[in-house]
């Protein structure tokens, strides 16, 4: 700001710095959340699938999203255990993961698919891909 018409013979510099705090949700600041991969693979014999979730475009503040297994050709309680939950990213955190228990059977059934979904972001937004899948090998 500048003050005009000062009283007196000198005009001191009264310009002020204005600091803009970016608190918007979107591509900057708190970033957005997506699956790290559009498809994951996991070995049935390993007994577990690890699914990474990414925060892109900014890592300020704490944000969260819900995740869940969402059907597919793999069968719940025969090929895997259904999971759901909430992933929280703290300030500066850009990568998180959750796990899905896989059930080892004696059937040659590789290639079965577990669909995955992100939903209900808090303090952030979701970006593509918000759906993904684990292929059991
Ligand atoms: Ca199986
Ligand atoms: Ca099998």
In a domain, 109, yes or no: yes
Q: What pLDDT, on a 0 to 100 scale, did the predictor assign at position 26?
A: 46
Q: Which two tokens stand for residue 41?
A: 């693979």
Predicted local confidence at residue 71, as pLDDT: 96
Query: In the chain, which residues have pLDDT < 50?
Result: 1, 24-27
CA of 45 to the centre of ligand 2 (A): 8
Ligand 1 (ion): residues with CB under 5 Å are: 79, 105, 109
Q: Which ligand is nearest to the CA of 74?
A: 1
Q: Which two tokens stand for residue 10?
A: 């000198």
Q: Which of 111, 43, 115 lies closest to 72, judged by CA?
A: 115
CA of 49 to the centre of ligand 1 (A): 13
In a domain, 20, yes or no: no
User: Rounded to the nearest whole angstrom, what is the distance from the C-alpha of residue 133 to the centroid of ligand 1?
Assistant: 15
The reported pTM is 0.78
What is the spatial order of strands in the sheet that 48-56 belongs to?
95-101, 48-56, 32-35, 125-126
- Domain hosting residue 99, numbered range: 32-136
Given this model, what pLDDT does residue 106 score? 86
Q: How far is the CA of 136 from the centre of ligand 2 (A)?
A: 9
User: Any idea what the CATH number is for the domain that residue 85 is in?
Assistant: 2.60.40.2030
17 lies in some domain:
no
Does residue 75 sit within a domain?
yes
What are all long-range contacts of 86-89, with beta carbons under 8 Å and residues at least 24 apart? 87/33, 87/53, 88/62, 88/63, 88/64, 89/33, 89/55, 89/59, 89/62, 89/63, 89/64, 89/124
68 membership: H or E segment, kind and range: strand 63-69
pLDDT in tens, 59-90: 999 999 999 999 999 999 999 999 999 999 99
Structural domain count, the chain: 1
Look at residue 45 and tell me if it is in a domain: yes
């Amino acid at each position: 700001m500048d003050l005009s018409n000062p009283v007196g013979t000198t005009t001191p510099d009264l310009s002020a710095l204005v600091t803009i705090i970016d608190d918007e949700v979107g591509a900057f600041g708190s970033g957005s959340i997506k699956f790290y991969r559009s498809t994951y693979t996991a070995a049935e014999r390993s007994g577990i699938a690890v699914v990474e979730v990414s925060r892109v475009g900014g890592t300020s503040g704490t944000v969260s999203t819900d995740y869940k297994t969402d059907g597919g050709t793999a069968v719940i309680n025969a090929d895997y255990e259904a999971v759901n939950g909430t992933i929280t990213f703290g300030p500066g955190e850009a990568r998180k993961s959750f796990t899905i228990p896989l059930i080892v059977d004696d059937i040659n059934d590789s290639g079965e698919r577990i669909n995955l979904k992100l939903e209900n972001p808090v303090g952030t937004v979701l970006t593509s891909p918000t759906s993904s899948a684990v292929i059991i090998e």
